Each structure stands twice: as C-alpha cells, then as structure tokens.
Amino acid sequence: MKFGVSTFVWVSPFNTASFDLIHKVKDMGYDSIEIAVEDKDIIDWPKLKKLADEVGLGITISGAFGAERDIASDNPEFREIGLKYIKDCVQIANEMESPVFGGPIYSAVGKTRLISEEQKKKEREWCIENLFEAAKFAEQHNVVLGLEPLNRFETDMINTGDQALSLIREIDSPYLKILLDTFHCNIEEKSIPDTIRKIGKDLCHVQGNESDRGTPGTGNLDWQGIKDALDDIQYTGSIVIETFGAPSKELARAASIWRPLANSADELASEGLSFYKKMFLS
C-alpha cells in the first residue's frame, strides 16, 4: 500500500511557487504527492518532475471541475472546454508518470438541481459521448481515468458507487475506472466496505478522508472495515489524504469548507500519515 497527500491540504491553487511542498511531503514520509490541477499553466511541469525524481517522491494527478469544465453541460462550449481539460490532464499525468487522473470528470462540482428525466437523459448522453473520447485518449497515454462519485450536496449526477459502475460499464473501457473518496461515501453509501467489494477490480484510486474531512482516524469512519474490504479485493493502488487547508473562495464554496479542519495543515498531514501506517500496514 502506498500513501499520498493532496496539495489541497496546503494551497489552492498549486503553482510553481508551491514546490517547497515536495520536500515537506517527502520528509513527512509519504510515497507520493497528489497535484490538484486548477490551472495547468501556472505550474512548471518539467521542473516539478525533476524535483520529485530527485527526492524520490511519486506524483498523482487530480482534477478541479468548475462550471466551464462540465462535459455534461447544455452549453457545447463548456463541454468542449471540459474535454480538452481532461485530455490536458491526461497528458500531464503521462508526463508525471501518474497511473491515474481522477476526479468528478462527468460534470461540474456544485451542479445540484432537481431536473426532468428528459434533461437528465440529455446530460448523460453528453457525458457518455465525451467520456468515450476521453477514455480512448487515456488509453493512448496509458493513464487510467478515475471517476469519482460526490455527495448529493456537490453533484446531482453521480453520488454512489452503483451509479458510477453503471456509467463506466456503458463506456466499457479498461482505462475508465472508479475513484472512491471515503468522505463522500460516508454520506451516500449504506456500507463503505460493501461498496468497495462491489466495485472490486474497477477501483483504481482511493482518497481516504475522514467523516468530517479532518485528520484520518479522528472521526466516525469504519476504517477497519475499509481496510478489510481493500484487502479482500487485493487493492494495490494508493490511499491519499485530500482535504482543504487553505481553499480558494471558489473551492470553499464548492466543497462547503467554512472552518479549519485541524490545528494546522502540517499536523493533519503528519498525523494522518501516522494513522494510515498504523491502520493499513499492521
């Protein structure tokens, strides 16, 4: 099992001036850093890869999906922007040797409405059309797309593992799988371990977040059950802490982060890693 931590824990948006995090994350004992790509053009990617290689830190890539990156939007321009963003991030993931690019790739975060069945059908068709193309592109670059269900307060499209499975099975590509974030699962699933077992080989990435997005091990998640389920499916990917220490106004609004989630970002990351090692390596 490998452990990672997201740049969201410390900074938003991550940029070249944030590269001191590479040394910090490595010194804490993590195996990888998850780069949240809010704006690809403010990051010197070759310099980042060189630095990560020098210290021996892996990189995974995750996405940030605002309204203009919505491949299921009724605005065709936004659908085009969203698909291009996914392809850009897949190329980045390939260059950074990240095995996955993950996030709510199917829609925009914060898109929550009660809509007609006809509108739902249209949006799903747009989503599937773009995911087909995205999955083909991901295959060409040997990167797996991780489709992440979000809780009902952040999306109205994919909230559960069952919904995610239904969508990826329509695409039917080995390069489109599922990313589970245990924070969202804690809201939407009857049983996180049962969901993990049901997804099985289609689980490509885990963001192991606490029930309140605070330090792992301090909330009410069934971590032992999660560990047992991951063992049962022989999961060999990473477990990553993704929470928000200094969110931008846009990110705070999207994720409803209104208060500090720990005494400090450093404390959350270091204590979270200690918990991961105790739970998953014992």
Q: Is the peptide bond before 46 cis (omega within 30 degrees of 0)?
A: no
**Cα–Cα distance measured from residue 147 to residue 178, given in angstroms and rounded to the nearest whole number:** 5
Write out residues in the chain with pLDDT < 50, as ranges. none
Report the SS3 class of residue 2: strand
Q: Are 40 and 92 in contact (CB under 8 A)?
A: yes
Question: What is the Cα–Cα distance from 279 to 224, expressed in whole angstroms?
Answer: 7
CATH architecture designation of domain 2-280 = Alpha-Beta Barrel (3.20)
Spatial CB neighbours of 230, under 8 Å, sequence gap ≥ 6: 1, 196, 206, 280
Q: How many CB atoms lie within 10 A of CB 208?
A: 27
pLDDT of residue 257: 76
- Contact criterion met (CB below 8 Å) for 245 and 8: yes
Nearest to 237 by CA among 45, 98, 88: 98
Strand ranges (E), 170-246: 176-181, 203-207, 238-241
Quick check: 177 and 202 in contact, CB under 8 A? yes
Structure tokens, 1: 């099992």
Predicted TM-score (pTM) of this structure: 0.96
The pLDDT of residue 256:
76
Domain ranges of the chain: 2-280
Active site residues: 148, 242
Q: Which of 244, 247, 254 is nearest to 214 (CA)?
A: 244
